[in-house]
A and B are shown apart, each in its own frame.
Chain A
């Protein structure tokens, strides 16, 4: 590696290889020339599976799919040793469908070998017997490139029987989906992978104990997994230092921005970078003539924040304290020419359509919210509609439904009602003046 590549690898581990990729993804030779599969070699030669798990735990790698659960802790719940079930599974959640999120597409289309190596290393840590990448069906190019990378890795002895002479074997398969947002929910994803309708499962038991085909299963997001080889190669302390003191969280984060900003896109930055820096320095600010009215920090299922929250570090705890969630970390900017009632109507139409229909509050409550929002949008709302919406945010909130779909749907609604109540009130039809 050249010095500059080595420097970038130190600060932008997930994406530094893109500089060498020059629009087409690196093949196995190109990837190996930039330390590719070095982490796998190191793990297999010098580390036990438990060492790898402990390292990831020490690094405090939190799930990048939205929930922020520590990956090392997830892994540590997997039964290990001679008494553990022989079938254990590693599943990569590559069903990227959270509105506003387009980071995993980049990682899979442009750096497929990074994810393949990550899955082998993570599979080694939990001693998985099989691994699957659950990829949304629309990501056609990612499927093609991942399959090519898997074939190359197999030919090189990194996958298949007796990997690098270790005696451990792993098969990795790309499983493509056929739509439906709910597949991104961990247990719905497992049902879908089993060839069933993607209804979520009751928890407990958690997938680490009884997941795919009832066997111990780890499900991790693409970006989460892609961090693993870098942690193995450079250590937990290095990983914690990547945030450069901007956050108590560790690592970098692939942030992004969309909406009517000058330069929408993706940037790998220290975790805890402020939303203002992302908007003003990276996305180039709002388009001419527009001002920021509100923003969704990390997907459709996160609460709106306001311009006064822009100086918060984009990390799990800071955004959480402000009443929202970092989610996927890809910000959507809502400009002042939008009607907030219409934006929320669009959001709830999405959630209503994508409900799997399994539990009543979600199946019936979400269309109800859509009906009320459509009426308010047209100025045909009835007195009491806002109170009904308030009530729905509680009836569909955490703990009231089978999975996190409806509570997620309520996040933008409840925060819009909080910050823009007057806009909703305007949608209530005024009674005719009494004579």
Chain B
């Protein structure tokens, strides 16, 4: 399972202007998935994070127009949905690359030398934290402790966790993600 579908045509969005809000149409199967999530809770709003994730899985990010559409399904205002979408770091409100690298910068990985690994990735990809490569292949983000401190330094690429990182191993690791 990947956070970003490599085949998604929405990759064309990277670097281009954001689509107009009214152009967003919620896919029927996404609507159904959101409605199913709502059934787990006594208040449908509780499904808001999951709803954002469902949309993000299809599009790679959460386009502006999706905010109001999700609000309509959940019965809450677009402002409330946007408040949630902008709070959580795993919800992307701007386009990201096909693969998202999340590198742990917390103290456990600091002690085992994440900074040199992060610099090596940065140099190799030519981007800093928070940036996307011009070909739309990778986005590099920092992340809170990934709970694998015995294997530090650690990062995630999409849904995969990789530990015991070394500067020498970076090329081979990134090659796995086309």
A residues touching B (Cβ–Cβ < 8 Å)? Answer: 87, 96-102, 104-105, 130, 136-140, 171, 173, 175-181, 192-198, 213, 256-260, 264-266, 296, 300, 330, 332-335, 338, 343, 346-347, 349-350, 353-354, 356
Contacts and interface: CB of A to CB of B under 8 A. Distances in A.
B125 interface: no
A350 B143 CA distance: 9
Given A101-B149, A194-B45, A264-B150, A140 B107 contact: no
B63 interface: no
B87 A97 contact: no
21 contacts: A87-B42, A100-B149, A138-B143, A177-B90, A178-B88, A178-B89, A178-B90, A180-B87, A180-B88, A180-B89, A181-B144, A196-B48, A198-B88, A213-B42, A213-B43, A258-B152, A259-B108, A264-B150, A264-B151, A300-B106, A300-B145
B111 A178 contact: no
B147 A179 contact: no
Contacts, number: 145
Contact of A100 (B50, B89, B145, B156): B145
B120 interface: no
B2 to A, nearest CB: 11
B73 interface: no
B45 A195 contact: yes
A343 B111 contact: yes
Interface residues of B, number: 44
B144 A97 contact: yes
B12 interface: no
Nearest to B159: A140
Among A171, A198, A256, A259, the most chain B Cβ lie within 10 Å of the Cβ of A259
Given A195-B41, A356-B87, 16 more contacts: A101-B145, A137-B53, A171-B40, A175-B50, A176-B49, A180-B87, A180-B144, A181-B144, A193-B46, A195-B74, A195-B84, A196-B80, A256-B149, A259-B112, A300-B107, A350-B107
**Interface of chain B, helix or strand or loop or mixed?**
mixed
Contacts of A193: 46
Nearest to A264: B150
A195 B43 contact: yes
Given A180-B87, A195-B45, A195-B49, A347 B40 contact: no
B83 interface: yes
A159 to B, nearest CB: 13
Interface string B18-53: 000000000000000000000011110111111011
A256 B145 CA distance: 15
A175 to B, nearest CB: 8
Nearest to B104: A99
Contacts of A343: 107, 110-111
Given A99-B107, A173-B40, A178-B53, A197 B87 contact: yes
B1 interface: yes
B148 interface: yes
B78 interface: no
Nearest to B38: A195
A201 to B, nearest CB: 15
Contacts of A332: 107-108, 111, 149
B127 interface: no
Contacts of A300: 106-107, 145
B91 interface: yes
Nearest to A137: B90
B146 interface: yes
Contacts of B1: 140
B73 to A, nearest CB: 12
Among A99, A197, A256, A338, the most chain B Cβ lie within 10 Å of the Cβ of A99
Contacts of A196: 45, 48, 80, 83-84
A138 B156 contact: yes
B149 A330 contact: yes
Nearest to A194: B46
A177 B146 CA distance: 13
Contacts of A176: 49-50, 53
B105 interface: yes
Given A99-B144, A178-B49, A346 B89 contact: no
B49 A334 contact: no
A264 B91 CA distance: 32
Given A130-B42, A296-B107, A354 B84 contact: no
Contacts of A105: 147-148
Given A99-B106, A130-B42, A181-B144, A334 B149 contact: no
B146 A178 contact: no
B51 to A, nearest CB: 9
